[in-house]
Structure 1
Amino acid sequence: MSDIKEKLKTVVQETMIPEVEEYLEDLFKLLEENKSTPDDMDAIKEMESFLVELENILLVIQEDKMSDKEYQEVYDKIMDLIHESEEEEEEEA
């Protein structure tokens, strides 16, 4: 497996999917406690869809359906998302 495919697989499996699942758990807790807002409901739908996209990325890697250039583009977009999220967390602190 090429280096970029391995890096993409690692970041999706070890960072993105666990973070999305954790966020979804928090949203579902709000829902169970009847504390959710319409925005929370929208976020649940978006995060579930995003989770499916991440799982599809892993499937594409497994089946080797893209070029290394395409894997690099996806990896770069994911890293941008991670950096944006980190910056937002810093601003909130």
Structure 2
Amino acid sequence: MATIKEELTEVISQTMIPEVESYIEELHELLQEGKATDDDMSAIKEMESFLVELENILLAIKEDKISDEQAQEVHENIMQLLQESEKAQV
């Protein structure tokens, strides 16, 4: 059975980071085309910051600087975000 840290690492590296990077790329395309709104500009900054946070979580797991309880809490928050995202797409 996978540990919560392994599950968290998997969901961040295989789901969250690719989705965030894809969204940032879409926003940068709007920016290059001159179609980006102020909201898009804010979203770029927020998503880039979120990406750094995700990478920091992975580093904290790798360096064993996060407890199982913290990992569980982060995992639950990410799963909730993913569920909300799925509902919004329906």
* Class of the TM-score when normalised by the shorter of the 2 chains: over 0.9
In structure 2, what is the Cα distance between the partners aligned to 1:82 and 1:30?
Answer: 24
Give 1:66 shift.
1.7
CA distance in 1 between partners of 2:56 and 2:23 (Å): 19
CA offsets 1:3-27 (integer angstroms, 9 cap, x no match): 1000000000000000000000000
Q: Which residue of 1 aligns with 2:4?
A: 4
Structure 2 equivalent of residue 65 of structure 1: 65
What TM-score, normalized by structure 1, do the two folds share? 0.93
Q: Give the superposition deviation at 1:38.
A: 0.3
Taking structure 2 as the reference length, what is the TM-score of the superposition? 0.97
Deviation string 1:11-67 (CA, Å, 9 cap, x unpaired) is 000000000000000000000000010000000000000000000000000001121
Moved over 2 A (4+): none
Q: 1:42 matched to which residue of 2?
A: 42
Identical columns (%): 62
| Aligned mates of 2:68, 2:25 — CA distance in 1 | 33
Corresponding residue number in structure 1 for 2:16: 16
Structure 2 unaligned spans of 5+: none
**Which residue in the other structure is 2:52 paired with?**
52
